[in-house]
C-alpha cells in the first residue's frame, strides 16, 4: 500500500466490512477519498454531535425506519401532490418523466453544506410546485452563507444550522447565482441590484423526526434540507444503499432529500461534493441511518418550504396558454418554464400585456417575463 | 362574413370539470409542460362591472348554420375551434362562432373582460388554435383558455 495513498487501506477496510454485510453499497475511490482527513472535515458544516448526544439516540434509527415504511399508502392532503396517497417510491428526478432537481454543485473546501442543502430544497420546490421542470433555477449559496450566515457569526469552520439559514431564505431571500457566484473562499461582490433578482422561501416547515411528514413534503412540495452524522466510510460511497460500517464519526453534514424507495428502505439524497462522489453526486441512505431524520442534539434539522416566491427577470420562454375571464382584470399566462402567472396591474395593463402575449403566443416568439411572486409585472417580447 | 358551409351536429358540450381530458393543473407537479393545465382556480376574481342579464334586445349575429347550434353548456367546453367572430357597435358586442356548436356571445360582465376574451378569441381564430371555454348559466362564454 502506497504511504501517500492512505485512503486505499481505508477502502480495503470498508470493502471488507461491506462484504460481511452482504454488499448493501459499493465503496470506491472517490474525489473525497483522496482528500486528507482535515480537508474532508472542512466540508462537514454541521456541528459534530457529542458522544452524549449520540448515546441518547439509541433506538432512534430503528424507530425512524419503521415510521418511514409505515407511511406507505398514507393519505396525502396537499393539492399539489400527484396522487392521493404516498407511493412506495418517489424520486423528484423522475416524476412522470420530468426532473425537478437542479444540477449537482460543489461546496469546495468550506463547511457551507447547510446553505447548499437549503438552496437545493428551494430550487426543487420552485420547479416542482410550478410544475416546471425546465425552470432551472440557480440560486446563490454564496449569498446565503457568506452574507446571511456570516451575519449570524457562522464561518466555514463553525458550520451552521438549517433552522437559521432557512429562516434567512424566508425573511431576507437570496439572489441568483449570476449575481453572486459561489467561491469557497467567500470572495466576490454582491450585485447591487440583488433585491430585484431574489427568491424567498415561503411556508417554512420543520419536519424533524417525522419520516412520514418528510415523505409528505417531498411528494407535495419538493426537496427538504436534512442533516446527518457522517461516518468515515461515507467519503468512499459510490452507489447502493448506504449504511454506516464504522462508528468513527467524521462530523455532521447537510444535504437535500429528494425521494425515497421503500423496497430498498432508503432515502434518496442530493449531495454537493461534485459529480465525482457517489452516484453522480447523488446517494441512497437507509431509513434511520446516520440519524438523517433527526440529528442528535437539541436543534431541529430537517426543513422544507411549501413554495418559493421569485422577484426577477426569467429567461426568455414561450407562452403556452393564455386565459381571460369576463371580469375586469383577470388575465393569466402559462409560461413554459414557470407555469401560470397572473397579469399584474389593473384592467388597462392587463389589456396591454394580453396584446403582447397574444402576439407572442400566436407567432411563437419568446417572452422574457419579470415575475413578482405569481404576478407577471413586465413582459419583453423578443422578435 | 362567409358561410362556414355545412356542419354536422356535435354532441352536447361536455360538462365535465376542468381536471379531466388529460389536463392537469398548473401547480400539479409532474405535469408535462406541453400538456396545458386548466385555468387557475380563482378564475373569477376580477371586479364585475355592471353585470347584465341576457340582453335579448341586443343585435344577434347572422345565422351561419342552424344545424350547428346546440344547447348552452353551462360549464367547460374543451378543444373547440372558433372560425368566425362578429361584433356590433356596442362595447360588449362580440360573438364567436364555435365550430360544431354555433354562435356564442362573450359575456358582457365588464368592458375590459369582454375585450380580453375577444383578444384571445381573435388570436385563436387567426392562429387556428383550439380553445377551452366556460359558459355561464345563460350560455355565454365567460372564461377563455387559448
At A91, which CATH number? Answer: 3.90.70.10
Give domain status of residue A286, yes or no: yes
Residues A286 and A320 in one domain: no
Q: How many domains does chain A have?
A: 2
User: Are B30 and A98 an interchain contact pair (Cβ–Cβ within 8 Å)?
Assistant: yes
- Do A122 and A161 fall within a single domain? yes
The answer to the question of residue A60 being in a domain is yes
Is position A112 within any domain? yes
Where is pLDDT greater, at A5 or A42? A42
**Structure confidence at residue B57 (pLDDT):** 58
Q: Does A34 or B7 have the greater pLDDT score? A: A34
Residue A275 inside a domain? The answer is yes
Q: What is the distance in angstroms between the Cα of B53 and the nearest Cα belonging to chain A?
A: 13
**Chain A residues whose beta carbon lies within 8 Å of the beta carbon of residue B44:** 325, 327, 330
CA pair distance A360, A320, nearest whole angstrom: 9
> Residue B20 has which C-alpha cell?
379531466
CA-to-CA distance for A378 and A359, rounded, in angstroms?
15
Domain membership flag for residue A20: no
pLDDT bin (cut points 50, 70, 90) of residue B25 is very low
What's the rounded mean pLDDT across residues A280-291?
A: 98
Which residue is closest to A361 within chain B, CA to CA? Answer: B123
Confidence check: pLDDT of B21 > 70: no
> What pLDDT score was predicted for residue B65?
60
Alpha carbon distance B52, A77 (integer Å): 39
In chain A, which residue's Cα lies nearest the Cα of B107?
A326
A278 and A131 housed in the same domain: yes
- The residues, ordered by sequence, that sit 6+ positions from A3 with a Cβ below 8 Å of its Cβ are none
Do A330 and A219 share a domain, yes or no? no
Select from B29, B126, B140 the Cβ nearest to the Cβ of A129: B29
pLDDT of the residue at A280: 98
Residues of B in contact with A128 (CB under 8 A): 29
B3 within a domain of the structure (yes/no): no
- Domain membership flag for residue B110: yes
Residue A169 within a domain = yes
Res A11 pLDDT > 70: yes
- The answer to whether A82 contacts B29, with C-beta atoms less than 8 Å apart, is yes
Q: Is position A285 within any domain? A: yes
Average pLDDT, chain A: 96
In terms of domains, do A322 and A301 share one?
A: no
Mention every residue, 6+ apart, whose C-beta is less than 8 A from residue A99: A92, A93, A133
Instruction: Report how far residue A60's alpha carbon sits from residue A290's, in angstroms, rounded to the nearest whole number.
Output: 10
Q: Percent of chain A scored above 90 by pLDDT?
A: 96
First to last CA, chain B: 23
Give the range of the structural domain holding residue B99, as residue numbers without chain letter.
71-145
Chain B touched by A351 (CB under 8 Å): yes
Q: Would strands A331-335 and A319-325 be described as parallel, antiparallel, or unpaired? A: antiparallel
Same domain, A206 and A253: yes
Q: CA B12, B18, B19: angle at the middle one, nearest 5?
A: 125
Residues A245 and A323 in one domain: no
Q: How far apart are CA A37 and CA A170, in angstroms?
A: 35
Question: Considering A309, A331, A349, which residue would you say is the last residue of a domain?
Answer: A309
Residue B7 lies in a domain: no
For residues A327 and A258, membership in a common domain is answered with: no
In contact, A228 and A242? CB cutoff 8 Å: no
Grid cell locating A253: 453534514
3-state SS, residue B80 = strand
Q: Name the residue among A80, A220, A362 with its Cβ closest to that of B123.
A: A362
Q: Report the 10 Å Cβ neighbour count for A163.
A: 18
Same domain, A341 and A217: no
Half-sphere exposure of B95 (CA within 13 A, CB side): 20
Collect contacts of A264-272 with beta carbons under 8 A, ≥24 apart: A265/A65, A265/A68, A265/A69, A265/A241, A266/A241, A266/A242, A267/A68, A267/A292, A268/A91, A269/A226, A270/A101, A270/A104, A270/A120, A270/A223, A271/A104, A272/A104, A272/A105, A272/A106, A272/A107, A272/A113, A272/A116, A272/A117, A272/A120
- Please, which pLDDT band fits residue B16 given cuts at 50, 70 and 90? very low
Claim to verify: residue A239 and residue A323 sit in the same structural domain:
no
Q: Do B106 and A326 touch (CB under 8 A)?
A: yes
Whether the predicted pLDDT of B117 surpasses 60: yes
pLDDT grade, residue A78 (50/70/90)? confident
Q: Of B31, B33, B129, which is closest to A336 when you measure between CB atoms?
A: B33
Note down the domain range covering A329.
Answer: 314-381
Cβ contacts (< 8 Å) between A344 and chain B: which residues?
none
For the cut 80, the answer to whether the pLDDT of residue A2 exceeds it is: no
In a domain, A7, yes or no: no
Asked whether residue B41 is domain-assigned, the answer is no
Residue B110's DSSP bridge partners are none
Residue B29 lies in a domain: no
Residue B8 lies in a domain: no
**Average pLDDT, stretch A100-104?**
98
Summarize pLDDT for B38-88 with one digit per residue, the tens. 444 344 344 443 333 344 456 666 666 655 555 556 799 999 999 999 998
A334: left (phi > 0), else alpha (psi -120 to 50), else beta?
beta
CB contact under 8 A, B26 and A130: yes
Instruction: Select from B27, B46, B123 the Cβ nearest to the Cβ of A329.
Output: B46
CA distance B34 to chain A (A): 8
Tell me: do A225 and A329 sit in the same domain.
Answer: no
Contact (CB, 8 A) for A101 and A223: yes
Strands B94-98 and B76-87: antiparallel
CB of A362 less than 8 A from some CB of B: yes
> Is B86 a member of any domain?
yes
Q: Given this model, what pLDDT does residue B141 score?
A: 97
Residues 6-65 of A with CB under 8 A from B: none
- CATH number for the domain spanning B122: value is 2.40.50.50
Do residue A358 and residue A282 come from a single domain?
no
Average pLDDT estimate for A116-144: 97
* Average pLDDT over every residue of A173-186: 98
pLDDT at A291: 98
How much is the pLDDT for B39?
A: 47
In a domain? residue B63: no
- Closest-CA distance of chain A to residue B130, Å: 11
Amino acid at each position: 500500500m502506497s504511504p501517500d495513498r492512505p485512503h486505499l487501506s481505508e477502502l480495503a477496510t470498508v470493502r471488507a466490512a461491506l462484504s460481511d454485510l452482504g454488499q448493501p453499497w459499493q465503496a470506491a475511490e472517490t474525489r473525497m477519498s483522496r482528500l486528507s482527513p482535515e480537508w474532508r472535515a472542512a466540508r462537514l458544516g454541521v456541528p459534530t454531535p457529542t458522544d452524549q448526544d449520540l448515546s441518547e439516540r439509541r433506538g432512534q434509527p430503528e424507530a425512524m425506519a419503521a415510521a418511514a415504511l409505515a407511511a406507505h399508502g398514507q393519505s396525502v392532503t396537499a393539492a399539489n401532490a400527484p396522487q392521493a396517497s404516498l407511493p412506495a417510491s418517489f424520486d423528484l428526478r423522475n416524476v412522470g418523466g420530468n426532473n425537478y432537481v437542479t444540477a449537482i454543485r460543489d461546496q469546495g473546501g468550506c463547511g457551507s453544506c447547510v446553505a447548499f442543502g437549503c438552496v437545493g430544497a428551494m430550487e426543487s420546490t420552485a420547479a416542482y410546485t410550478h410544475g416546471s421542470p425546465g425552470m432551472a433555477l440557480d440560486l446563490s449559496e454564496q449569498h446565503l452563507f457568506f452574507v446571511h450566515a456570516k451575519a449570524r457569526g457562522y464561518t466555514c469552520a463553525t458550520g451552521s444550522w438549517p433552522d437559521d439559514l432557512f429562516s434567512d431564505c424566508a425573511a431576507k431571500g437570496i439572489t441568483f447565482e449570476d449575481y453572486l457566484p459561489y467561491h469557497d473562499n467567500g470572495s466576490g461582490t454582491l450585485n447591487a441590484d440583488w433585491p430585484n433578482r431574489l427568491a424567498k422561501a415561503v411556508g417554512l416547515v420543520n419536519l424533524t423526526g417525522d419520516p412520514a411528514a418528510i415523505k409528505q413534503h417531498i411528494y407535495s412540495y419538493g426537496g427538504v434540507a436534512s442533516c446527518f452524522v457522517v461516518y468515515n466510510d461515507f467519503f468512499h460511497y459510490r452507489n447502493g444503499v448506504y449504511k454506516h460500517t464504522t462508528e468513527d464519526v467524521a462530523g455532521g453534514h447537510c444535504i437535500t432529500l429528494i425521494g425515497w424507495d421503500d423496497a430498498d428502505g432508503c432515502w434518496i439524497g442530493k449531495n454537493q461534493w461534485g459529480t465525482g462522489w457517489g452516484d453522480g453526486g447523488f446517494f441512497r441512505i437507509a431509513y434511520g441511518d446516520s440519524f438523517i431524520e433527526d440529528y442528535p442534539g437539541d436543534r431541529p434539522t430537517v426543513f422544507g418550504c411549501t413554495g418559493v416566491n421569485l422577484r426577477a427577470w426569467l429567461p426568455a420562454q414561450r407562452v403556452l396558454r393564455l386565459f381571460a375571464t369576463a371580469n375586469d382584470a383577470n388575465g393569466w399566462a402559462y409560461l413554459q418554464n414557470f407555469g401560470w402567472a397572473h397579469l399584474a396591474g389593473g384592467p388597462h395593463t392587463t389589456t396591454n400585456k394580453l396584446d403582447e402575449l397574444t402576439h407572442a403566443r400566436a407567432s411563437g416568439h419568446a417572452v422574457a417575463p419579470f415575475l413578482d411572486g405569481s404576478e407577471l409585472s413586465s413582459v419583453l417580447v423578443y422578435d | 362574413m362567409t358561410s362556414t358551409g355545412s356542419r354536422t351536429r356535435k354532441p352536447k358540450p361536455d360538462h365535465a370539470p376542468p381536471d379531466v381530458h388529460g389536463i392537469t393543473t398548473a401547480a400539479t407537479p409532474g405535469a408535462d409542460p406541453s400538456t396545458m393545465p386548466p385555468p387557475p382556480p380563482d378564475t373569477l376574481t376580477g371586479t364585475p362591472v355592471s353585470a347584465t342579464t341576457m340582453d335579448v334586445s341586443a343585435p344577434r349575429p347572422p345565422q351561419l348554420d342552424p344545424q350547428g347550434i346546440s344547447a348552452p353548456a353551462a360549464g367547460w367546453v374543451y378543444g373547440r375551434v372558433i372560425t368566425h367572430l362578429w361584433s356590433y357597435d356596442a362595447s360588449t358586442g362580440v360573438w364567436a362562432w364555435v365550430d360544431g356548436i354555433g354562435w356564442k356571445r362573450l359575456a358582457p360582465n365588464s368592458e375590459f373582460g369582454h375585450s380580453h376574451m375577444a383578444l384571445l378569441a381573435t388570436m385563436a381564430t387567426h392562429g387556428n388554435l383550439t380553445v377551452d371555454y366556460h359558459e355561464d348559466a345563460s350560455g355565454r362564454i365567460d372564461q377563455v383558455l387559448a
